[in-house]
Amino acid sequence: MKFIIGIGGVTNGGKTTLTGRLIKNLPNCCVVHQDDFFKPQDQIEFGEDGFRQWDVMTAMDMDAMVNTVKGWMENPVKFARSHGVSVSAADDSDPEREIHILIVEGFLLYNYKPLLDVFNKSYYVTIPYEECKRRRSTRNYTVPDPPGLFDGHVWPMYLKHRKEMENNSLDIQYLDGMKSKEELYNQVYEDMQNSLLNAL
């Protein structure tokens, strides 16, 4: 059985930390990080706000991302092995009961139509403006944030995309990113276990 989980949400909300913990504790689990599909800096256009447009869909090679997800869907075992993920031995009596999980993690997961149909479960981490700005200011990025980027580009784009996403009528479970890492993980892990049991 194949199961795809989306973990989306606001920048610095805790998506990657949560994903990292889930990977360690879910069986046959692989991950696709949206951040791995950013285009090179020289291909990121400047917007009317005066900033390079990192926080929009065109900043990423979404075709490559979708193809990566499809590669997993076609052959999760081969995908896992090629990404260094050990796969538990198949139960010969009933290979259908063997579970393979893919976590797709990123800040713009639920705004790209070709991806919407693949998720069995969709989570979205939110944190308030002040906390998001505080966390963002403490992070070191390969391409550092220019002054004013958060208020001039990052947050307005987040609000815009969140509104678009909510209009897509996808069944999304919202997570409170202000909870402790432990609480967030336990909430999602328990929910996942229930979903997997129901799907079997």
Q: How many CB atoms lie within 10 A of CB 153?
A: 21
For 13, the enclosing helix (H) or strand (E) is none
Q: Give yes or no: 94 in active site.
A: no
What confidence score (pLDDT) does residue 93 get? 54
What confidence score (pLDDT) does residue 86 get? 82
Q: Are 129 and 158 in contact, with CB atoms under 8 Å apart?
A: no
Burial of 147 (0-12, 13-18, 19+ CB in 10 A): exposed
Ramachandran quadrant class, 9 (left: phi over 0; alpha: psi -120 to 50; beta: rest): left
List the domain range (segments joined by +) for residue 119.
Answer: 2-199
Domain tally, the chain = 1
- In whole angstroms, how far apart are CA 34 and each of 48, 97, 163, 199? 25, 29, 20, 26
- The beta strand positions in the chain, using DSSP E, are 2-9, 29-33, 100-105, 121-126, 172-176
Q: What residues pair up with 2 in beta bridges, in sequence order?
A: 100
Taking each helix axis as running N to C, give the angle between helix 181-199 and helix 15-25, from 0 to 180 degrees, rounded to the nearest 10. 50
Which CATH number fits the domain that encloses residue 23?
Answer: 3.40.50.300
What confidence score (pLDDT) does residue 168 get? 82
Catalytic residue, chosen from 35, 63, 91, 151, is 35
User: pLDDT of the chain along its 200 residues, tens only?
Assistant: 899 999 999 999 999 999 999 999 998 999 999 999 999 999 999 999 899 999 999 999 999 999 999 999 999 999 999 988 888 765 555 656 689 999 999 999 999 999 999 999 999 999 999 999 999 998 877 777 889 999 999 999 999 999 999 988 889 999 999 999 999 999 999 999 999 888 77
What confidence score (pLDDT) does residue 27 get? 85
